[in-house]
């Protein structure tokens, strides 16, 4: 079972969305961009204590070692709750984690589950927004990647957290349209009920090997499952799991004001400098030497030879989450790397996929 280490941080309550200190268990640690903190402090700081817890490439795509599938792992539960009988959780906390001048808003929220919705790192839950659709039917569920470790932000395995971007766009008729569920979630006040389904998904489960190299590729809210992985690796203590491999996170966001959880990642880096690397790609502020927009794949290209060497190892696992467009961009940097050794990247990627070393959830 898990135990706790300590890294106290303070989480400031958002103007409209804070939990009462008495309802907040004493074991969390969320941290937020400092710019965001300065804009969310009207109700004062809510202090929450952190739970701190070669294979040589052959000419053809090499066949990967056969492993026991993570999908068979004991204790992975799916679909405990379905839309007709959802689990009704309570919102404990909801905080905007992007600064006011960021393009778009992203919120971090924590819901109570009382332990009734157990989940593993890498799974998602469904949320059914209150209200009805235009046909008078209940809204369809939307999926959200879980952003907390299985222990939850408060360390008691009784909560689940999400990282949600508010969807707002202008349609062809020039009208501003608000996405149903993301707006429902970002507007949730502490104490409000939330209909939860799931958990679902096995693609993004973590590898069991504590010595693995885990390369995490995220755009925007695609960071959610990786926050969950990284809390387990660096902020929590388990009798049967101590991460001693390499966790390498690449995160792509539009502006520095929209960076997600950078303070938490900074703490992880300070705690485990040899086991954690983080590289950001800030698309609207940075370019590469050729003047191209700094997308996640552009940043990865700076380390391409190192990444390729890692990808040849049997205990390197790549996870990708976020915008669908990133997948193609990442393939494009891999093709020439593999080709240099006479390997067809697409075949090799298929092998990696088969051995659960290439895990993708993009949308
Ligand atoms: C496995 C999975 C995990 C996910 N995890 C997360 C997560 O962790 N965080 C997160 O924020 N989201 C996540 N999503 C996305 C989430 O499920 C919702 O799709 C998202 O929040 C939008 O839902 P909504 O109800 O607000 O919008 P809806 O009311 O469903 O509206 C969305 C629709 O609006 C239209 N639309 C959207 N943008 C535009 C545009 N620019 N122009 C014209 N039309 C447009 C499209 O038709 C789109 O289908 C995940 C999705 C999946 C499949
Ligand atoms: N499990 C899942 O499937 C899952 C989980 C979480 C989120 N999501 C999805 O992930 C998406 C994240 O969006 P967001 O609004 O949170 O992100 P965001 O804040 O807009 O950040 C996305 C970043 O990716 C960049 N980008 C755009 N096109 C790209 C491309 N082709 N290749 C690489 N990078 C690219 C953007 O750059 P510019 O904007 O400057 O071009 C921006 O820097 C949403 O669609 C969400 O539904 C899926």
Q: What is the pLDDT of residues 305-350, one digit of tens each?
A: 999 999 999 999 999 999 999 999 999 999 999 999 999 999 999 9
Q: Is 65 a catalytic residue?
A: no
* C-beta separation of 200 from 117 below 8 A: no
**Taking residues 222-241, what's their average pLDDT?**
97
Sorted by sequence, the CB contacts under 8 Å of residue 244 that are 6+ apart come out as 210, 211, 275
The mean pLDDT of 185-192, rounded to a whole number, is: 98
Pick from 203, 218, 222 the residue to mutate for probing ligand 2's pocket: most ligand atoms within 8 Å of its CB: 222
Q: How many other C-beta atoms lie within 10 A of the C-beta of residue 285?
A: 14
| Chain center to CA of 32 | 15
Residue 40 confidence class, pLDDT cut points 50, 70, 90: very low
C-alpha torsion angle, residues 234, 235, 239, 243 (rounded to 10) = -10
Please confirm, yes or no, whether 361 is among the known catalytic residues.
Answer: yes
Convert the pLDDT of each residue in 46-88 to its tens digit: 223 233 233 344 455 666 666 778 887 778 999 999 999 999 9
Strands 176-178 and 87-96: unpaired
Catalytic residue selected from 28, 321, 348, 356: 321
CA distances from 180 to 96, 128, 130, 161 (A): 18, 10, 9, 19
- Is residue 146 helix, strand or coil? strand
Assess whether the C-beta atom of 329 lies below 6 angstroms from ligand 2.
yes
In whole angstroms, give the CA distance from residue 52 to residue 265: 13
Instruction: Please report which ligand is nearest the Cα atom of 105.
Output: 2
Atom 48 of ligand 2, residue of closest alpha carbon:
322
Q: Rounded distance, CA 178 to CA 166, Å?
A: 8
* Assigned token pair, 207: 């590898």
Which structure tokens are listed for 276?
Answer: 């954690």
DSSP structure class, residue 346: H
Instruction: Spell out the domains of the chain, with CATH numbers in brackets.
Output: 2-38+75-200 (2.40.30.10), 213-362 (3.40.50.80)
Residue 49, strand partner residues: none
- Taking the whole predicted model, whether its pTM rises above 0.85 is answered as yes
Q: Mutual orientation of helices 345-354 and 325-340 as an angle, nearest 10°?
A: 110
Ligand 2 touching residue 201 (CB < 6 A): no
Active-site residue, 261 included: no
pLDDT of 23 > 50? The answer is no
35 Cβ closer than 6 Å to some ligand 1 atom: no
Token duo for residue 161:
């957290």
How many Cα atoms within 13 Å fall on the side-chain side of residue 5? 15
């Amino acid at each position: 079972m898990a135990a706790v280490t300590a890294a106290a941080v303070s989480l400031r309550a958002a103007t409209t969305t804070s939990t009462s200190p008495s309802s907040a268990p004493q074991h969390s640690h969320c941290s937020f961009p400092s710019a965001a903190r300065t804009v969310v402090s009207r109700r004062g700081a809510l202090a929450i204590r952190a739970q701190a817890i070669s294979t040589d490439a052959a000419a053809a795509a090499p066949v990967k070692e056969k492993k026991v599938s993570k999908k068979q792992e004991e204790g992975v539960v799916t679909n405990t709750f379905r839309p007709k009988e959802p689990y009704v959780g309570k919102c404990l906390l909801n905080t905007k984690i992007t600064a006011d001048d960021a393009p778009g808003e992203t919120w971090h929220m924590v819901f109570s589950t009382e332990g009734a919705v157990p989940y593993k790192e890498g799974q998602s839950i469904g949320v059914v927004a209150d209200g009805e659709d235009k046909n008078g039917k209940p809204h369809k569920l939307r999926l959200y990647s879980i952003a907390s470790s299985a222990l939850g932000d408060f360390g008691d395995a009784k909560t689940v957290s999400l990282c949600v971007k508010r969807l707002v766009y202008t349609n062809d008729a020039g009208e501003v349209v608000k996405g149903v569920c993301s707006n429902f979630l970002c507007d949730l006040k502490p104490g409000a009920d939330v209909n939860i389904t799931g958990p679902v998904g096995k693609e993004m489960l973590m590898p069991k090997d504590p010595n693995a190299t885990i390369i995490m590729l995220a755009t925007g809210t695609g960071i959610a499952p990786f926050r969950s992985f990284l809390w387990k690796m660096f902020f929590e203590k388990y009798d049967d799991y101590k991460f001693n491999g390499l966790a390498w996170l690449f995160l792509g966001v539009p502006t520095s004001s929209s960076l997600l959880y950078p303070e938490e990642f900074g703490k992880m880096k300070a705690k485990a400098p040899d086991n954690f690397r983080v590289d950001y790609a800030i698309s609207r502020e940075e370019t590469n030497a050729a003047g191209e927009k700094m997308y996640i794949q552009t940043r990865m290209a700076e380390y391409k030879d190192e990444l390729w060497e890692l990808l040849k190892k049997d205990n390197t696992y790549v996870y990708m989450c976020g915008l669908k467009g990133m997948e193609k961009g990442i393939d494009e940097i891999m093709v020439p790397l593999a080709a240099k050794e006479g390997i067809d990247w697409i075949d090799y990627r298929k092998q990696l996929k088969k051995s659960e070393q290439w895990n993708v959830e993009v949308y």
